Amino acid sequence: MAEDVLTPDFASYPWTPLERVEFSRHVVVHWADGSALDCHPLWLFENTVAVDPVTREATVDPGDLPPAESLRAAERRADGALVLTWADGRESVAHPGWLRSIAAGEHLPSFVPGPPVVWTAGLGEPPTFDGSHVLDDEAEFEAWLGAMCSFGLARLRRTRADRSLLEELARRIGPVRGSNFGGIFTVEAKLDADSTANTGLNLGQHTDLPTRETPPGFQFLHCVENTVAGGASRMTDGLAVVAELEAHHPAEYGALTTLQWVFANRARDGDHRWIGPIIDHGAPSSPLTLRAFYPVRLAPHMPAEDVERGYSALRVFSRIAHDPRFMIRNRFERGDLVGFDNRRVLHGRDEFDSGGGHRVLMGCYIDRDDVFSRLRVLRRRHEASGSDHPTADHPTRGEQAT
């Protein structure tokens, strides 16, 4: 029965009985709704016979796997599980719900968080959740993280506005990704600023730390004080910018995705450097990374005759990133906490008068892997309990928010 079938992970799966099993060289399992999965015998061996019951990891080195022909029989058990008989007489069983999850692609990294919701100025406000009890309410926490992963940004309102809250919240998600700004950093206007972030200057739409091989995934900013006039936060979905460039500015899109620039930070005690294009699509399975922070773009790394079109393309990129059709603008209120995908969403800030009050944001980075991992674990628990999700205060508008 279901309880006797080990799966190669710690998730729980609904029991979705197989309708029939075909076996020739491969095993093909079928469900009553017409879906099917083609399974190689060695893959079945690794995930049934060779699973360590404690760690749920595979235990057999590929060099020690038996020949594929050692699978002698594959049959449907009366309860709908898959039973496998091996040449040495061993039997193993595969959970039909686990097989079904593979057939449905639920094991793929992209299944959670799911497809991105691309947005433009019509979004108006970031998806917003009640932050007053987020530390005690797992469902609210999960809903906020889920929206943050789909939209690339989501806000909590009414959080406790003190300097320790962000670290407490970050710890619930995963390890803080340190940088030359430290672990948890403060964004406020200073006389001896080490970054333009710590001035009252306007900051053009950008992504942080293109100086890194892998720039930080998510960025979190928590407003603990804001009594200045101006300084509104601006956000632009990089996915919408890239789509606009690709559709209407193909020459500039080509330049932005292929011409390389050297990025270097200018800290007195740090010297991080990286080379990449502004729109970095990376390897086939990597997410989009925008390397868009002019304060640390050091030099073109391209043939001299390409530099002119490199700058022209940057000008068009900037124009679209600041275009009111694509950008939203929101003031940080005390207690607001915004999380956003630093490699996808461009952020910026209106200038403010640092003599006219205080604007203090606490900030940190957490890598995308850690955010997605926390979301998967919360979803798993939530699905096992069968409770409802809270919804955003600010309604969302389906797949394409405009």
Site of interaction with Fe ion (CB under 5 A): 208
Please, which residue, 361 or 378, has the CB nearer to Fe ion? 361
Minimum CB–partner distance for residue 170 and Fe ion (Å): 17
Nearer to Fe ion, 131 or 204 (CB): 204
Nearer to Fe ion, 208 or 252 (CB): 208
Cβ closest to Fe ion, residue 141 vs residue 352: 352
* Least Å from the CB of residue 310 to Fe ion: 23
Instruction: Return the sign of the alpha-carbon dihedral for residues 248, 249, 251, 257.
Output: negative
Q: In the bound complex, what is the minimum distance in angstroms from residue 68's beta carbon to Fe ion? A: 53
Residue closer to Fe ion (CB basis): 11 or 314: 314
Rounded distance, CA 10 to CA 5, Å?
12
Q: How far is the CB of 347 from Fe ion (least distance, A)?
A: 6
Torsion of CA 126, 130, 135, 139, to 10 degrees: -90
Kindly tell me which of 337 and 375 has the beta carbon lying closer to Fe ion: 337
Residue closer to Fe ion, measured from CB, 208 or 244 = 208
Identify which of residues 208 and 367 has a Cβ nearer to Fe ion in the complex.
Answer: 208
Quote the Cα angle for 184-119-112, to 5°: 65
CB of 155 closer than 8 Å to CB of 331? no
Name the residue nearer to Fe ion (CB basis): 16 or 207: 207
Structure tokens that stand for 354 in this block: 């640092």
* Tally of CA atoms within 13 A in the half-sphere of 58 that contains its CB: 12
Token digits for 395? Answer: 């309604």
Q: Which is nearer to Fe ion, 254 or 295 (CB)?
A: 295
In terms of Cβ atoms closer than 10 Å to its own Cβ (0-12, 13-18, 19+), residue 269 is exposed
Least Å distance, CB 349 to Fe ion, is: 8
Whole-number minimum distance, CB 348 to Fe ion, in Å? 8
Report the DSSP pairing between strands 118-119 and 400-401.
Answer: parallel
Residue with the shortest CB distance to Fe ion = 208
Min CB(216)–Fe ion separation in Å: 10
Label residue 12 exposed, middle or buried (CB < 10 Å: 0-12, 13-18, 19+).
Answer: middle
Query: Closest separation between CB of residue 346 and Fe ion, Å?
Result: 9
Q: What six digits make up the tokens of 299? A: 């030099």
Minimum CB separation from Fe ion for residue 206, in Å? Answer: 6
Q: How far is the CB of 70 from Fe ion (least distance, A)?
A: 56
